[in-house]
Amino acid sequence: MRGTERRARLLEALGLGEIDVDDLAHRFGVSASTVRRDLQHLSGTKAVRRTYGGAILAGATPETTLDQRLAINGPEKLAIARAALALIADGETLILDAGSTVTAFGRLLLDRRLRIITNNLALLPCLAQAPGIDLVVLGGNLRATSMSTVGPLAIEALQRMTADRAVMSADGVVAGRGLCEASLDQVALKSAMIAQSRETVVLANAGKLGRAEQMAWAPLPRRWILVTDAAVPQDQRHGLAEAGADLVVAGA
């Protein structure tokens, strides 16, 4: 494989979330030093940004861990989670996505009577102890950054179930485009969650609205519910409403 072709394929691999030099070397059948030279070349063209042990696309924002996200905007996330509780009735079946705000929401359900389908591994210790929760866990590949499962096993299991509501998270929410995430595995599963649910509820603080810093997208249905905080700008409210969102503003 010529260097130009290999570097083009390296960019494709980085777009899919592959960042480790050794993994890339194995994939392309070359030495790690060859991959490092290619990445250095791409870094010189501003196409990628070097990281410890690999690289990411220059336009991509490094993904934070779940613990880091739980520590950010805690009061806003809890207010959003509490506002979303009013949308849920006992006896319903919910799909709970991964993510820090959905985790905060799930922790408020311990005294409810619900069936919950989830890939959110961070919720399992508390939901497993809730007497009124019938818990279904989606298997698949582990995403350690979000403490969740993704991949074809999770999607195949989900396609055998339906739910009243999917409660979703995202790195960004953009009117007319949908939910923005770091990897195609994430958005493939999110799309399946939305497809298997009667109603979609997105939990996102105002800082995520209009944010498009990652490369993968999950479209939203024609009508959906957005639960956010009072800092949402007026122009975002208008654009989201035009894109089918029914807004629930925490504390309003």
Please tell me the predicted confidence (pLDDT) of residue 54. 64
Please tell me the predicted confidence (pLDDT) of residue 66. 54
pLDDT band at 76 (very low <50, low <70, confident <90, very high): confident
Please tell me the predicted confidence (pLDDT) of residue 83. 97
Please tell me the predicted confidence (pLDDT) of residue 38. 82
Please tell me the predicted confidence (pLDDT) of residue 101. 94
Specify burial of residue 48 (Cβ count, 10 A radius: 0-12, 13-18, 19+): buried
What does the alpha-carbon distance between residue 65 and residue 178 come to, in Å, rounded to a whole number? 22
Please tell me the predicted confidence (pLDDT) of residue 198. 98
What does the alpha-carbon distance between residue 52 and residue 86 come to, in Å, rounded to a whole number? 44
Using one digit for the tens of pLDDT, what is the confidence trace for 15-64? 655 567 877 787 778 888 888 888 888 777 766 666 656 665 665 555 55
Question: What SS3 state is found at 161?
Answer: coil
Give me the mean pLDDT over the 142-168 stretch. 95
Please tell me the predicted confidence (pLDDT) of residue 72. 56
What does the alpha-carbon distance between residue 140 and residue 98 come to, in Å, rounded to a whole number? 13
Compare 58 and 235 and report the one with higher pLDDT: 235
pLDDT for 81 beyond 70: yes
